[in-house]
Amino acid sequence: LLTRNGKDFSDKLPELAQAIGRLSNGRALVLDGEAIISDDEGRSDFQALQNYLKKPTGKELTFIVFDLLAADGKDLRDLPLSERKSALEKLMKGAPASVVYSKHTLGNGEEIFQAAAKIGLEGIVGKKLDSRYSGTRNGDWIKMKCYNRQEFVIGGYQISEKKAGGIGALLLGVYEGRKLIFAGRAGTGFGQRDAESLLKKFDKLRTEISPFKTAPEFDETETVF
């Protein structure tokens, strides 16, 4: 199991390495795919995968196979994508449950994109049927991301409990008429310099009155302004 940068993850994901070994059944294969952990809705959860790599317990891994690059010593990368996918689909029949063939849809890109956005997916990937596998970004494959955007007003902030002089979260709101409605918190991940710059600006704007129509509730241990 090699990453994009050539790092061997076979020891970190031994279950997947063994499952792919059972799929190959002694044949020499090169597959292009992605290891994922799904959330309760069946969507790929990147953070869950990161947590698993740190502590590999409690989650089931799946390897989604996109493409077949070589088989039985033959380089297939110059074949059209349609032929590679056809060969891959045949190869994947009877595959272990943790190794899954990535199905595709011909055409209907706009409808598929709208459906992906509706169910909260990150986006879709479009590929030319006759494209070869170049391993570079050349326009034959494109990522179309679903951006769900909303503008918020910063109504307050929470001091970081882990880092002195840091910001733990921003308190966000949206206007309904002239009332600012609390919408939630946004964990920031600001660097120390950015946090210090923001805190200087925030200090000048402090008020004893909550800007939100209904003040959000907080734990007794939290420091909020």
Could you read off the pLDDT of 112-131 as tens digits, one per residue?
999 988 888 888 999 999 99
Contacts of 160 by beta carbon, 8 Å cutoff, 6+ apart: 166, 167, 168, 195
Contacts of 199 by beta carbon, 8 Å cutoff, 6+ apart: 165, 167
Give how far the C-alpha of residue 189 lies from the chain's centroid of Cα atoms, to the nearest Å.
17
123-127 and 99-101: which strand pairing? Answer: unpaired
In this prediction, residue 188 carries a pLDDT of 59
Could you read off the pLDDT of 62-83 as tens digits, one per residue?
999 999 999 999 999 999 999 9
Contact yes or no for 77/133 (Cβ under 8 A): yes
In this prediction, residue 190 carries a pLDDT of 65
Q: Say whether pLDDT at 222 is over 60.
A: no
Determine the average pLDDT of the residues in 12-26: 92
What is the pLDDT confidence band of residue 186, given thresholds at 50, 70 and 90?
confident
Which is higher by pLDDT, 145 or 161?
145
User: Beta-strand (E) ranges in the chain?
Assistant: 29-36, 62-71, 74-75, 99-101, 123-127, 141-145, 153-159, 167-176, 179-187
The secondary structure of 57-88 as a DSSP string is -S---EEEEEEEEEETTEE-TTS-HHHHHHHH
Specify the 3-state DSSP secondary structure of 31: strand
Contact yes or no for 31/38 (Cβ under 8 A): no
User: Tokens 């790599």 label which residue?
Assistant: 53
In this prediction, residue 44 carries a pLDDT of 83
Determine the average pLDDT of the residues in 148-160: 81
Q: What is the DSSP letter of 196?
A: H
User: Tokens 């769900």 label which residue?
Assistant: 148
What is the pLDDT confidence band of residue 164, given thresholds at 50, 70 and 90?
low
In whole angstroms, what is the distance from residue 171 CA to residue 156 CA?
5
Determine the average pLDDT of the residues in 105-110: 89
What is the pLDDT confidence band of residue 4, given thresholds at 50, 70 and 90?
confident
In whole angstroms, what is the distance from residue 95 CA to residue 148 CA?
36
What is the pLDDT confidence band of residue 136, given thresholds at 50, 70 and 90?
confident
